[in-house]
Amino acid sequence: MRYCVIRKLTGNFTTTGIGSLPLTDPERAARFVLETGPDVPFWPQLPRRAAAEGMLPQYAANMPCVKWDEAEKDVIMDDSNKYSELETFYDKYLSDDRSHFALAKDRAAGFFAFRDALEANAPPPVLKGQITGPLTFTTGISDSRDRTLYSDPELRDAAVKFLGRNAAWQVQNLKRLGASDIIIFADEPVLAAYGSSAYVGISEEAVLAMLSEIFSAVSDAGAIPGMHVCGNSDWAMAMRSGVEVLNFDAYQYGTTLGLYSDSLQEFIDRDGLIAWGIVPTTAAIEDETAGSLMGRINSLLEALGEKGFERSTIVQHSMLTPSCGAGSLDERQTGKVFSLLKELQSALLDAQ
CATH for 197: 3.20.20
Residue 319 lies in a domain: no
Residue 333 lies in a domain: no
Helix (H/G/I), strand (E/B), else coil: 224: strand
Distance of CA 199 to the CA centre of its chain: 21
Question: Which pLDDT score, from 0 to 100, does residue 195 have?
Answer: 67
How many angstroms separate the CA atoms of 45 and 120, rounded?
21
The parts of the chain modelled with pLDDT lower than 70 are 1-8, 195-198
Residue 344 lies in a domain: no
Count the Cβ atoms, other than its own, within 10 Å of residue 283. 10
Distance of CA 237 to the CA centre of its chain: 17
Residue 346 lies in a domain: no
Cβ distance 135 to 202 under 8 Å?
Answer: yes
Question: Which pLDDT score, from 0 to 100, does residue 1 have?
Answer: 40
The structural domain count of the chain equals 1
pLDDT tens digits for 209-234?
999 999 999 999 999 999 999 999 99
Q: Which helix (H) or strand (E) holds 274?
A: strand 273-279
Residue 134 lies in a domain: yes
How many angstroms separate the CA atoms of 3 and 6, rounded?
10
* Domain carrying residue 88: 20-272
132: amino acid identity, one letter: T
Helix (H/G/I), strand (E/B), else coil: 202: coil
Judge if pTM exceeds 0.85.
yes
How many angstroms separate the CA atoms of 311 and 300, rounded?
10
> Which residues lie closer than 8 Å to 128 by C-beta, 6 or more apart?
16, 17, 40, 41, 42, 43, 182, 183, 184, 185, 226
Number of residues written out for the chain: 352
Class of residue 68 by CB neighbours under 10 A (exposed 0-12, middle 13-18, buried 19+):
middle
Question: Which pLDDT score, from 0 to 100, does residue 6 have?
Answer: 43
How many angstroms separate the CA atoms of 244 and 13, rounded?
15
How many angstroms separate the CA atoms of 16 and 174, rounded?
16
Question: Which pLDDT score, from 0 to 100, does residue 51 have?
Answer: 96
Question: Which pLDDT score, from 0 to 100, does residue 350 have?
Answer: 93
Residue 70 lies in a domain: yes
> Which residues lie closer than 8 Å to 32 by C-beta, 6 or more apart?
21, 23, 44, 334
> Which residues lie closer than 8 Å to 52 by C-beta, 6 or more apart?
58, 68, 73, 106, 107
> Which residues lie closer than 8 Å to 340 by C-beta, 6 or more apart?
279, 285, 288, 289, 290, 293
Cβ distance 35 to 58 under 8 Å?
Answer: no
> Which residues lie closer than 8 Å to 202 by C-beta, 6 or more apart?
135, 139, 150, 194
Residue whose C-alpha is closest to residue 132's, from 7, 20, 209: 20
Question: Which pLDDT score, from 0 to 100, does residue 37 have?
Answer: 86
How many angstroms separate the CA atoms of 22 and 335, rounded?
10
Would you list the DSSP string of 106-154? TT-HHHHHHHHHHHTSPPPSEEEEEEE-HHHHHHH-B-TT--BTTTSHH
Residue 2 lies in a domain: no
Residue 13 lies in a domain: no
* Beta-bridge partners for 226: 185, 245
How many angstroms separate the CA atoms of 127 and 144, rounded?
39
Question: Which pLDDT score, from 0 to 100, does residue 10 have?
Answer: 79
